[in-house]
Amino acid sequence: MEESDKLKRVVEARMKLKARFEGKMSQTPSMADNKPMGSGRPNRHGMPVVPVGQVLTRKWPVLDLGIEPEIPLDEWKLVIDGAVEHPVELSWDDFMALPQTEDTSDFHCVTTWSKLDMNWKGVRLLDLAALAQPKENATHILCYGYDDYTTNISLEEALKPDVLLVHTVEGAPLPVEHGGPVRMITPQLYAWKGSKWIRRIEFLTENKLGFWEERGYSDTAYPWRNDRYS
């Protein structure tokens, strides 16, 4: 009884959130630009598959702050707090028990490489947000890594259906050097917007810059606008 009430509440929250941000989402540059910059066939959002200034790679380079934290699964947790009705702290088992989403998407790094068609498995940020229920005045999130990295993103970007907290890539556990056990991915923004080794998602009522954003990287990070630095 209690379980099904909770499920009902989460489903309702998800629908409400989706409705609340759908309009803004469809107007974001990675979905709506009528003169996007780039080359190649259209991707699934109608943007040229290779954004301006990017070069395709088959390898997957590693970029981090020089620290690669190793978090045993029985110590791993994810906190969702800030401007939310129900702050949550998830253990590994809690996280894996949430609805799982599989998706294939592209990865665009600001250092000019792009890797296409990466297959991911994980939990939608939208589904995590439905659990925590952002307050009406929430506008952004700030994500924190176990390495003290932070990065900020607006809710109309963060709640897109391809924004996932992934634990699996190409059918295998996400390697530590790429942010395992769990990282975020943001296929419609430059990849620095996805925190590796993610440990906390704070909902904000006003924007707050993250690590690279404070150091001159773009706040918005739109690949098809060459929006790299601010």
DSSP assignment of the chain = -HHHHHHHHHHHHHHHHHHHHHHHHHTSHHHH-SS--EEEEE-TTSSEEEETT-EE-SS-----SS------TTT-EEEEEESBSS-EEEEHHHHHHSPPEEEEEEEE-TTSEEEEEEEEEEEEHHHHHHHH-B-TT--EEEEEETTS-EEEEEHHHHTSTT-EEEEEETTEEPPGGGTTT-EEE-TTS-GGGS-SSEEEEEEESS----HHHHTTB-SS--GGGT--B-
Task: List the single partner that 145 binds among Mo ion, ligand MTE, none, CB under 5 to 8 Å by kind.
Answer: ligand MTE
| Window contacting ligand MTE (CB under 6 A); options: 22-30, 44-52, 91-99, 193-201 | 193-201
Number of residues that bind Mo ion (CB under 5 A): 4
Assess 109 for contact with ligand MTE (CB under 6 A): yes
When binding is defined by CB under 6 A, the residue of 20, 45, 178, 228 that contacts ligand MTE is: 178
Pairing relationship of beta strands 164-169 and 150-154 according to DSSP bridges = unpaired
| Window contacting ligand MTE (CB under 6 A); options: 80-88, 125-133, 152-160, 195-203 | 195-203
Return the residues of window 63-102 that contact Mo ion according to CB under 5 A: 63
Assess 105 for contact with ligand MTE (CB under 6 A): no
Please tell me the distance from the alpha carbon of residue 169 to that of residue 44, in angstroms, as a whole number.
20
When binding is defined by CB under 6 A, the residue of 65, 85, 135, 173 that contacts ligand MTE is: 65
Q: How many residues does the chain have?
A: 230
Give the nearest distance from C-beta 167 to ligand MTE in angstroms. 14
The residue among 82 and 194 lying less far from ligand MTE, judged by its C-beta, is: 194
When binding is defined by CB under 6 A, the residue of 21, 149, 203, 222 that contacts ligand MTE is: 149
Q: Could you give the string, one character per residue 78-97, with x where binding to ligand MTE holds by CB under 6 A and - elsewhere?
A: --------------------
When binding is defined by CB under 6 A, the residue of 33, 64, 81, 219 that contacts ligand MTE is: 64
Summarize as ranges the residues that interact with ligand MTE (CB under 6 A). Answer: 60-65, 109, 145, 147, 149, 178-179, 191-192, 194-197
